[in-house]
Chain A
Amino acid sequence: MAAPLLEIDDLHVKYGNVEALHGIGITVRQGEIVTILGANGAGKSTTLRAVSGLLRPSGGEIRFEGRPTQLVPAHERVKMGIAQSPEGRRIFGTLTVSDNLFLGAYTLSDKQKIARTLAWIYELFPVLEKRRGQLAGTLSGGEQQMLAIGRALMANPRILLLDEPSLGLAPLLVKAIFQTIREVNQTGVTVVLVEQNARAALKLAHRGYVMEVGRIVLEGPASALLSDPKVQSAYLAGRA
Chain B
Amino acid sequence: MEQFLQQLTNGLAVGSIYALIALGYTMVYGVLKLINFAHGDLFTYGAYLGMTLLTSLLLKDRLGMVAGVLVLAGMVMGLVGLLGVILERAAYRPLRESPRLSAVVSALGASIFLQNALMLVYGARYQVYPEDILPQTAVSLLGFEIPLMRIVVFLASVVMMAALYLFVQKTKIGTAIRAAAIDQGAARLMGIDVDRVVLVVFLIGPALGGAAGLLVGLYYGQVNFTMGWIYGMKAFTAAILGGIGNIPGAMVGGLLLGVVEALGAAYLSIAWKDAIAFCVLILILIVRPTGLLGERVAEKV
Looking at A29-37, A133-141, A181-189, the stretch in contact with chain B turns out to be A133-141
Interface size on B, residues (CB 8 A): 23
The answer to whether B287 has its CB under 8 Å from any CB of chain A is no
Q: Which residue of B lies closest to A92 (CB)?
A: B182
Q: Is the CB of A75 within 8 A of B300?
A: no
- A137 CB contacts on chain B under 8 angstroms: 297-300
How far is B172's CA from A222's CA once the two chains are assembled, in angstroms? 42
Q: Is the CB of A92 within 8 A of B299?
A: no
- B182 CB contacts on chain A under 8 angstroms: 92-95
Q: Which of A77-114 contact B (CB under 8 A)?
A: 78-79, 83-84, 86, 90-95, 99, 102-104, 106-107
Other-chain contact of B172, A106, A139, A151, A152 (Cβ < 8 Å): A106
The answer to whether B198 has its CB under 8 Å from any CB of chain A is no
Q: Which residue of B lies closest to A93 (CB)?
A: B299
Among B183, B194, B298, max chain A CB count under 10 A is at B183
The answer to whether A208 has its CB under 8 Å from any CB of chain B is no
Q: Is the CB of A54 within 8 A of B188?
A: yes
- A107 CB contacts on chain B under 8 angstroms: 190-191
- A92 CB contacts on chain B under 8 angstroms: 178-179, 182-183, 186
How far is B187's CA from A90's CA once the two chains are assembled, in angstroms? 9
The answer to whether A166 has its CB under 8 Å from any CB of chain B is no
- B190 CB contacts on chain A under 8 angstroms: 75, 78, 103-104, 106-107, 151, 155
The answer to whether A213 has its CB under 8 Å from any CB of chain B is no
How far is B183's CA from A76's CA once the two chains are assembled, in angstroms? 18
The answer to whether A52 has its CB under 8 Å from any CB of chain B is yes
Q: Which residue of B lies closest to A84 (CB)?
A: B189
How far is B178's CA from A99's CA once the two chains are assembled, in angstroms? 10
User: How far is the CB of A136 from the nearest CB of chain B, in Å?
Assistant: 9
Q: Is the CB of A90 within 8 A of B298?
A: no
User: How far is the CB of B247 from the nearest CB of chain A, in Å?
Assistant: 12
The answer to whether A200 has its CB under 8 Å from any CB of chain B is no
How far is B179's CA from A74's CA once the two chains are assembled, in angstroms? 15
Q: Is the CB of B189 within 8 A of A54?
A: yes
Among B176, B182, B189, B297, max chain A CB count under 10 A is at B189
User: How far is the CB of A72 from the nearest CB of chain B, in Å?
Assistant: 12
Query: Would you give the 0/1 interface string for A31-60, flagging 1 where the beta carbon is closer than 8 Å to chain B?
Result: 000000000000000000000111000000
The answer to whether B193 has its CB under 8 Å from any CB of chain A is yes
The answer to whether A73 has its CB under 8 Å from any CB of chain B is yes
A residues engaging B (CB < 8 A)? 52-54, 73-76, 78-79, 83-84, 86, 90-95, 99, 102-104, 106-107, 135, 137-141, 144, 151-152, 155
B residues engaging A (CB < 8 A)? 172, 175-176, 178-179, 182-183, 185-194, 296-301
Give 5 new A-B contacts, CB below 8 A, not counting A54-B189, A86-B186. Answer: A74-B188, A92-B178, A94-B297, A99-B175, A103-B175
